[in-house]
Amino acid sequence: MARFNTKPLSGTRDFLPLEVMRRSYVLRVVERVYQSYGFEPLETPIMERLETLLGKYGEEGDKLIFRVAKRGEKLARVLANAPDENNIADAGLRYDLTVPLARVVAEYRHRLPRVFKRYQIGPVFRADRPGKGRYREFYQCDLDIVGSSSPLVEAEVIHAGAQVLQELGFQGTGAEGFRVRLNHRGVLRGLMEVVGVAPALEEAALVAIDKLDKVGLGGVRRELEERGISAQATQALLALLEAAPQDVAACLAWLAEVLQPSKTGSQAVSELEQVVQALAGGPAAPHLRLDPYLARGLSYYTGAIFEIEFPGLSGSGGGGGRYDDLIGMFSNRSIPACGFSLGLERILLLMEERGMFPDHLAGRPQILVTQFDAATRPASLALAHRLRQAGFTVDLYPDLDRYGRQFRYAEARGIRYAVLLGPDERARQAVGVKDLSTGEQVEVPQEALVGWLAQRLDTCGQDDHGSPEPASG
Amino acid sequence: MARFNTKPLSGTRDFLPLEVMRRSYVLRVVERVYQSYGFEPLETPIMERLETLLGKYGEEGDKLIFRVAKRGEKLARVLANAPDENNIADAGLRYDLTVPLARVVAEYRHRLPRVFKRYQIGPVFRADRPGKGRYREFYQCDLDIVGSSSPLVEAEVIHAGAQVLQELGFQGTGAEGFRVRLNHRGVLRGLMEVVGVAPALEEAALVAIDKLDKVGLGGVRRELEERGISAQATQALLALLEAAPQDVAACLAWLAEVLQPSKTGSQAVSELEQVVQALAGGPAAPHLRLDPYLARGLSYYTGAIFEIEFPGLSGSGGGGGRYDDLIGMFSNRSIPACGFSLGLERILLLMEERGMFPDHLAGRPQILVTQFDAATRPASLALAHRLRQAGFTVDLYPDLDRYGRQFRYAEARGIRYAVLLGPDERARQAVGVKDLSTGEQVEVPQEALVGWLAQRLDTCGQDDHGSPEPASG
């Protein structure tokens, strides 16, 4: 047989069991927190009509959509007659979870509650050049509230995101914690108005300001000038941004004063004030920081914008904002919306670097029932059933190999206890239990085994389950 | 804006929240049971290299693979020069979870345990004509043990499948239950040998026998004759199959006698005996039935084969078998393997028809905190935080609408209790609680609220969580 390339396709990944368990651990926390805020799960197909996707992500985005080719007759006809990248395809792989949400809101309008709070977790696909931390197939965890303009919506979304990070173990606002940077598109627009950036150059200036983290103040100054913003306006804008107070209340007061001449700016400050008020007392509050620099790249935001920052580290823990003009794209009407997307891959990487995963992850077997010989096999099988009924996760060694080989297998799988049931143990109505973490072996009476193990292991074998009483042997 | 078709692509589905919760409920049971048997999760990409997929599913299968088009320059070159369905694509959507498993086993051979017990749950893609219960994007739930020829492997796989069905509520072997039909490829081959079907016609005869459920004995007889099997062999084969005893032990003894002249058949009976022995005492045992008719379409099986049957209903609850020649396809060696694939879509449909889902599904909010006016908003927010901290799933109404509208929203979302916190309630240090299932409204002192709700609702709001003590107010 020819040699095959058995690596996953460039930009995609295989997740071996330990990696899946870690990802699942995080996703379970995400789901539990999102649900506790009243968000419901939505699932949409991996494949969408090509016309649903095209034109939604700009020209650059269109190029990054994976196209699924037509088949059979339909394909043959196109290939015979001026084929191009679009007419050979009738479907594409979803590029994000927002366009599918907009489609769902249009299609099921009458079946959805008037305020639709949904989360969706799943892979999206972008034909980007693969690189460190940049994949062609990667997960998004999206949280959106559709149908309300209330500032409570921003607060719910931000709190839910912050609480996920807290429950994963990111505590405080220091090196082990996170900050929630908050701003408003209208604040940025107001600032430009008061310093005299021409409206036509606003978007260009926003892109420049958004790079502050990467290029520093000097870099932003250069970018602004390159983009045609006058030296005077640039100077005034940077001076203002530097002068912004750190404290949330002080910053709001300062913004109100600075933006007083701009109607857009004043309106934005008043909206920000309401969001800040709604955030008081919840999990995000201690992490909150107003940041008039924050621009967030996507031009579709219309109101508050926010981003989770890990102090001193690049790459965000997630971000979002209000985007009132996007969800209605298939509905022929404007629908207010506000969302947050968790930076799952960044968070996983950080948690791995910092050893933040629990020792026992759901999905790992706790006990290996070993095999002695063909005659004792039925007893081994019965023991495995009994331990599973008692709530343990139990692997059963299938072959009649030497114990040494069975123990090595258990170690390789990270199994803590190997249970031995040979003729000697059976004669004494006992089982041998070898602790593979210490190498120690003890003998435990058969009727005491479940209790003995329950003292040392969780039943259910899962971190996200409670601990029901173990069934007595 | 032009009208868009906002339906999901033909053969794909959107799952609205209630459907996702039901699917998740089943998948959580599946995962918990699979894990309790020592199976570990694996995840592979949605996209695979096209050459990994082609030629693995027969000529018919190749046609059903969704191809992902090349992009940019690469595509332009191909389109300009004799494009065909294969050279315009460099990737395909996975068609099943077995070929990816074979690729993973080849690629990570030295990182996997010598016996690799894995499950994988996720969507697969087939460009089939969509029809009732037939989708182009659908979930598979696969369970496989790779690397051992022991009959315990069959037993583990079958028990895990049976236990999933039991835990979902399929009990016994009657109309509300299920049966596990067991056979062996060698038994079928042996039967054909002893009745005189030419070896070259064996596969054709298998296909005919496999249709018994659909076409009945007369139909199978016709199929066999159309496929060139002699009338005499057909007659003898059907007579034998009709004579098979129902009882498992009796059937084994009968098969041993009938197949005594065939070496293949005798070997198969001996292997079946070992599988039956290994199944004794576990969850599948009461459901077991030997069925010498069972052929299962896929020609890659090499040993025991099995299928979950719902008595009186078409469509199976899952099936599998031993397939020792497939997993090694990318490894240049033979690797024994045995697997089971759960019939998820069939099971979900049955559970819906029979009302087998629990009343409260994880993901549904339990409580709506209502809004009275802007002045009471901070108190409402604080109450929502408190209830979430106590472990409830809590939705917060974002807008200042009339109570009637807020209650209708809660009802539409299936929320049981609406909590009211107006100036009157606040003055009395109480909250109003409206039970939306009865319309009754009571007033509960603020400090007693968490306890009051905990008596009526699960904290954590999730069926698959334990019930930790509620935090006191």
Query: For the segment B121-170, what is each residue's pLDDT rounded down to a tens digit?
Result: 999 999 999 988 889 999 999 999 999 999 999 999 999 999 999 999 99
pLDDT at A2: 54
pLDDT at A203: 83
pLDDT at A214: 80
pLDDT at A155: 97
CB contact under 8 A, A107 and B69: no
Contact list in B for residue A66 (CB cut-off 8 A) is 47, 68-69, 71, 91
CB contact under 8 A, B85 and A75: yes
The boundaries of the domain holding residue A411 are 367-461
Contact list in A for residue B107 (CB cut-off 8 A) is 6-7, 14
Contact list in B for residue A397 (CB cut-off 8 A) is 115
pLDDT at B1: 46
pLDDT at B469: 33
CA–CA separation, B76 and A129 (whole Å) = 18
Among A298, A330, A353, residue at a domain's last position = A353
**DSSP class of residue A56?**
S
In this complex, how many residue pairs, one in chain A and one in chain B, have their CB atoms less than 8 Å apart? 337
CB contact under 8 A, A280 and B381: yes
pLDDT at B473: 31
Most confident of A229-243, B71-85, B234-248: B71-85
Q: What is the mean pLDDT of residues B413-421?
A: 95
The answer to whether residues A241 and A386 belong to one domain is no
CB contact under 8 A, B36 and A148: no
CB contact under 8 A, B12 and A41: no
CA angle A266, A270, A272 (to 5 degrees): 115
Q: What is the mean pLDDT of residues A11-39?
A: 96
Per the domain annotation, does A112 fall within a domain? Answer: yes
Contact list in B for residue A391 (CB cut-off 8 A) is 36
Residue from the list B9, B127, B393 with its beta carbon closest to the beta carbon of A35:
B393
Contact list in B for residue A155 (CB cut-off 8 A) is 381
The answer to whether residues B77 and B141 belong to one domain is no
How far away is chain B from the Cα of A265, in angstroms, using its nearest Cα? 23
Q: Chain B residue closest to A74 (CA)?
A: B85
Residue from the list A17, A398, A409 with its beta carbon closest to the beta carbon of B153:
A398
Q: What residues does B136 pair with on adjacent strands?
A: none
pLDDT at B59: 87
pLDDT at B384: 96
CB contact under 8 A, A41 and B24: yes
Q: What is the mean pLDDT of residues B161-190?
A: 95
- Three-state DSSP class for residue A318: strand
User: ipTM of this predicted complex?
Assistant: 0.92
A197-211, A273-287, A404-418: which has the minimum mean pLDDT?
Answer: A197-211
Confidence of residue A460 (pLDDT cuts 50, 70, 90): low
CB contact under 8 A, B42 and A14: yes
Residue from the list A117, A281, A466 with its beta carbon closest to the beta carbon of B466:
A466
CB contact under 8 A, A137 and B37: no
CA–CA separation, B171 and B179 (whole Å) = 10
- Reported as a single tens digit per residue, the pLDDT across B358-403 is 988 887 899 999 999 999 999 999 999 999 999 999 999 999 999 9
The answer to whether residues A279 and A392 belong to one domain is no
How far away is chain B from the Cα of A325, in angstroms, using its nearest Cα? 13
Q: Report the percent of chain A where pLDDT is more than 70.
A: 96
Q: Chain B residue closest to A330 (CA)?
A: B4
A144-158, B65-79, B450-464: which has the minimum mean pLDDT?
Answer: B450-464
Q: Chain B residue closest to A49 (CA)?
A: B9
pLDDT at A182: 97
pLDDT at A211: 82
The answer to whether residues A343 and A425 belong to one domain is no
* CATH code for the domain of A436: 3.40.50.800
Q: What is the mean pLDDT of residues B291-311?
A: 88
Q: How far apart are the first and last CA of chain B?
A: 52
The answer to whether residues A197 and A328 belong to one domain is yes
Confidence of residue A463 (pLDDT cuts 50, 70, 90): very low
Per the domain annotation, does A359 fall within a domain? Answer: no
CB contact under 8 A, B20 and A13: no
The predicted model scores a pTM of 0.93
Q: What residues does A49 pair with on adjacent strands?
A: A91
Query: Is the per-residue pLDDT at B56 higher than 70?
Result: yes
Q: What is the mean pLDDT of residues B9-15?
A: 97
CB contact under 8 A, B466 and A467: yes
- Please report the sign of the dihedral spanned by the C-alpha atoms of residue B231, residue B233, residue B235, residue B237: negative
* CATH code for the domain of A32: 3.30.930.10
The answer to whether residues A324 and A382 belong to one domain is no
Q: Which of B13, B366, B393 to mutate to test the interface with A (most CBs of A within 10 A)?
A: B393
The answer to whether residues B380 and B344 belong to one domain is no
Per the domain annotation, does B6 fall within a domain? Answer: no
Q: Report the percent of chain B where pLDDT is more than 90.
A: 78
Contact list in B for residue A79 (CB cut-off 8 A) is 79, 83-85, 88
For residue A461, give the amino acid letter.
Answer: G
CB contact under 8 A, B281 and A378: yes
Q: B101: Cβ–Cβ under 8 A, 6 or more apart, which residues?
A: B42, B44, B118, B120, B142, B144, B146, B327
- Reported as a single tens digit per residue, the pLDDT across A145-196 is 999 999 999 999 999 999 999 999 999 999 999 999 999 999 999 999 999 9
- Tokens matching residue B385: 């935080």
The answer to whether residues B310 and B343 belong to one domain is yes
Contact list in A for residue B126 (CB cut-off 8 A) is none
Most confident of A228-242, B256-270, B450-464: B256-270
Q: Chain A residue closest to B35 (CA)?
A: A363
Higher pLDDT, B157 or A198: B157
Q: Chain B residue closest to A388 (CA)?
A: B36
The answer to whether residues B204 and B220 belong to one domain is yes
Among B309, B329, B353, residue at a domain's last position = B353
Helix, strand, coil shares, percent, chain A, to 5 = 45, 20, 40
Per the domain annotation, does B75 fall within a domain? Answer: yes
Q: What is the mean pLDDT of residues A228-248?
A: 90
Per the domain annotation, does A286 fall within a domain? Answer: yes
CB contact under 8 A, A125 and B47: yes
Confidence of residue B89 (pLDDT cuts 50, 70, 90): very high
Q: Chain B residue closest to A90 (CA)?
A: B9
Residue from the list B71, B156, B330 with its beta carbon closest to the beta carbon of A4:
B330
The answer to whether residues A313 and A444 belong to one domain is no
Q: What is the mean pLDDT of residues B10-21?
A: 96
The answer to whether residues A205 and A235 belong to one domain is yes
- Tokens matching residue B118: 């894995």
CB contact under 8 A, A42 and B1: no
The answer to whether residues A375 and A327 belong to one domain is no
Among A326, A353, A380, residue at a domain's last position = A353
At B125, phi and psi to the nearest 5? -135, 130
Per the domain annotation, does A413 fall within a domain? Answer: yes
Q: What is the mean pLDDT of residues B448-464?
A: 78
pLDDT at B4: 82
Q: What is the mean pLDDT of residues B419-446?
A: 95
Contact list in B for residue A37 (CB cut-off 8 A) is 388, 393-396
Q: Structural domain tally of chain A? A: 2
> Counting runs of H as helices and runs of E as strands, what totals does chain A give?
17, 16
Residue from the list B51, B68, B467 with its beta carbon closest to the beta carbon of A466:
B467
Q: Which of A5, A7, A9 to mutate to test the interface with B (most CBs of B within 10 A)?
A: A9
How far away is chain A from the Cα of B315, in angstroms, using its nearest Cα? 24
